[in-house]
Chain A
Amino acid sequence: MMVTVASGKGGTGKTTVAANLARICGATLLDCDVEEPNAHLFLKGEPCGEPEIVSVPVPEVDEGRCDGCGECGRFCAYKALVVLGRRVLVFPELCHGCGGCMRVCPKGAIRETRQRIGSVETFRSGNMTLVQGRLDIGVAAAPPLIRAVKNHAPKDGDALVDAPPGTACPVVTALRGTDCAVLVTEPTPFGLHDLGLAVDVVRELGLPFGVVVNRADADDCARAACRAGHIPLLAEIPDDRRIAEAYSRGELAVEAVPEYRRVFETLMTRINGLGAKQTRADTDGHKHE
């Protein structure tokens, strides 16, 4: 089973939830927050082999063959190729790597080269494996790197995906193809508002999901919102300064404050329940697309 931990708002505790769960259940953790990967700070694993360099295809124009007809520039939806007179200017940072320019060029003057966007590193940490993507500085598009990280999901065995914040394409890429989603929020107006946005995204993708309320305190707003929206509340992690301090030092809650093992074990059981429902729906042929 593959479970994605997402949130909408940043800093609500996605990495805390994903890393602690991975530690107690031994699942492979796929850190797909490739702009700011943090899980390694808490799991402190040993690297397994060299990092894998991830690149994307970008066009390269053979000036000898190009006659400046402009077909590539007219076709490119991202304006990554601009034809000025007989010259083609290529802006690789705008390219999505669709390959269209190469196919439409009547002279066969365009081929693809690879442009590096980041790396994927694998670590072994105790009972589990961490795979993380790290986007190069100045690179705009995270989705291809997120896909490269997700390719490391074990064929059999469980994986947890630590998603980036937000609701746009990087989050969607992290969520796609997973069995269910865990949305982490906090009981504040910002947390609740962005939870609503994250719920819209997982519903759009047709994924079963539940909510974890982190830093839960006397404010009942998150619990009430889950009840009102008929959303399963999977766990509440209390606003406990011991967890915050352990986090600030790079320690996992389940290791620094062992009484929290139970909280994460119960959470894992409930997540398995969400995923199991989905698997049954699949076999019944009623999967919601």
Chain B
Amino acid sequence: MSDPAKPREIVVISGKGGTGKTSVTASFAVLAAGRAVLADCDVDAADLHLVLSPRIVTRAEFKSGYGAVIRSEACTGCGTCAELCRFGAVRPSERVSGARQVYAVDPAACEGCGVCVRFCPAGAIAFSERVSGEWMVSETRCGPMVHARLHAAAENSGKLVSVVRNEARRVAEERQLPLIISDGPPGIGCPVISSVTGADGVLAVTEPTVSGEHDLARVMQLTRHFGVPTFVCVNKWDLNPDAAGRIERAAERAGARLVGRIRYDRGVTDAQRQAKAVVETDTPAAADVRSLWKKVETD
């Protein structure tokens, strides 16, 4: 039984990218306006804000982990760091300090483990906290939204997702909103695991292509692995009706609940170009998305 005080959290994911997660999430946000907190968990390529035009109320730095920096003036060039680094992040530097060959850390490759810092015989390596992004709480025409931006080439997208989810839950409880609707990342790795574990339901949006079919199967293995109830929707189903049917049958066999289909409709891209959710336009696919939300909401 669900706790009436605890908001219900629905996460929209897909496995394969570009199947329409964000367009569906934005429409759900409009249909649940005033009752939901929106969360953009696709922190390394967040797009929901392009439709919901948030007005940022608070922003905070996302500090996560550490990075090693070799002070070239103290480096004796012994090479212990390069030898111990398992991530190939230490390389001979182009700068030569005095007559010595010194070393440098590539920040994009450093995973912040601290091994080089600890074992540098000269104590020449600093270990400083890294700011790898920021997160924001905003207001939109549909209600509050929590979103984030991971810096280019940064680590720890999974941790930033956790921050976004925790903050969304806090806002929902504080304002007594019964729903959290999250836009998830593609794939099945770290940020996806971070987005779906402990959620009340996942909606997997797929498309009738060989990749859509292949990737949905893996996403459903993941949600089963973590015990999250899963809904499935085939977007652009009429591009290949046979494949759509095949995908739906397989999803049902794997224990998912089918919640509808969305037709192929160029009006979806037009809505995006006007920074509108699909259901804010009268394009044919809007009716499909409305019926989809009704099933996800009442299940």
Give the chain B neighbours of A270 by CB distance below 8 A.
Answer: none
Give the chain A neighbours of B243 by CB distance below 8 A.
Answer: 248-249
Distance in angstroms between the alpha carbons of A204 and B239 in the assembled complex: 39
Interface presence of A141 (CB below 8 A): yes
Partner of A140, one of B65, B112, B158, B209: B158
Give the chain B neighbours of A38 by CB distance below 8 A.
Answer: 16, 210-211, 214-215
Taking the nearest CB of chain A, how far is it from the CB of B145, in angstroms?
A: 16
Taking the nearest CB of chain A, how far is it from the CB of B265, in angstroms?
A: 14
Interface presence of B254 (CB below 8 A): no
In the complex, residue of chain B having the shortest beta-carbon distance to the beta carbon of A219: B273
The reply to whether A137 and B47 contact each other, CB–CB distance below 8 Å, is no
In the complex, residue of chain B having the shortest beta-carbon distance to the beta carbon of A289: B94
- Knowing A36-B15, A96-B113, A204-B153, say if A245 contacts B273 (CB, 8 Å): no
The reply to whether B240 and A249 contact each other, CB–CB distance below 8 Å, is yes
Give the chain B neighbours of A193 by CB distance below 8 A.
Answer: 47, 50
The reply to whether B225 and A248 contact each other, CB–CB distance below 8 Å, is no
Taking the nearest CB of chain A, how far is it from the CB of B246, in angstroms?
A: 11
Query: From residue 115 to 152 of chain B, which have CB atoms closer than 8 A to chain A?
Result: 115, 118-119, 150, 152
Give the chain A neighbours of B201 by CB distance below 8 A.
Answer: none
- Knowing A99-B86, A137-B218, A197-B152, say if A9 contacts B17 (CB, 8 Å): yes
Give the chain B neighbours of A248 by CB distance below 8 A.
Answer: 207-210, 239-240, 243
The reply to whether B186 and A166 contact each other, CB–CB distance below 8 Å, is yes
Chain A contact residues: helix, strand, loop or mixed:
loop
Interface presence of B187 (CB below 8 A): yes
Interface segment, one of B31-39, B70-78, B164-172, B189-197: B189-197
Distance in angstroms between the alpha carbons of A112 and B269 in the assembled complex: 51
Interface presence of B281 (CB below 8 A): no
Taking the nearest CB of chain A, how far is it from the CB of B129, in angstroms?
A: 11
Interface segment, one of A22-30, A82-90, A167-175, A255-263: A167-175
The reply to whether B115 and A98 contact each other, CB–CB distance below 8 Å, is yes
Distance in angstroms between the alpha carbons of A194 and B50 in the assembled complex: 11
Taking the nearest CB of chain A, how far is it from the CB of B219, in angstroms?
A: 8
Partner of A205, one of B44, B108, B155, B275: B108
Distance in angstroms between the alpha carbons of A103 and B191 in the assembled complex: 30
Interface presence of A273 (CB below 8 A): no
Kindly supply a per-residue 1/0 record for chain A positions 129-160, scoring 1 wherever the CB is within 8 Å of any chain B CB and 0 otherwise: 00000010111111000000000000000000
Sort chain B's interface into a size bin.
35 or more
The reply to whether B189 and A170 contact each other, CB–CB distance below 8 Å, is yes
Interface presence of A232 (CB below 8 A): no
Give the chain A neighbours of B114 by CB distance below 8 A.
Answer: 75, 77, 98, 100
Distance in angstroms between the alpha carbons of A12 and B172 in the assembled complex: 34
Taking the nearest CB of chain A, how far is it from the CB of B39, in angstroms?
A: 17
Query: From residue 84 to 119 of chain B, which have CB atoms closer than 8 A to chain A?
Result: 84, 86-87, 94, 108-109, 111-115, 118-119
Interface presence of B182 (CB below 8 A): no
The reply to whether A36 and B86 contact each other, CB–CB distance below 8 Å, is no
Interface presence of A8 (CB below 8 A): yes
Give the chain A neighbours of B155 by CB distance below 8 A.
Answer: 168-169
Interface presence of B157 (CB below 8 A): yes
The reply to whether A172 and B190 contact each other, CB–CB distance below 8 Å, is no
In the complex, residue of chain A having the shortest beta-carbon distance to the beta carbon of B22: A190
The reply to whether A36 and B215 contact each other, CB–CB distance below 8 Å, is yes
Partner of A201, one of B65, B153, B269: B153
For the complex of A and B, the 7 pairs showing the least CB-CB separation, nearest first, are A10-B17, A11-B18, A98-B113, A35-B187, A200-B152, A250-B210, A140-B190
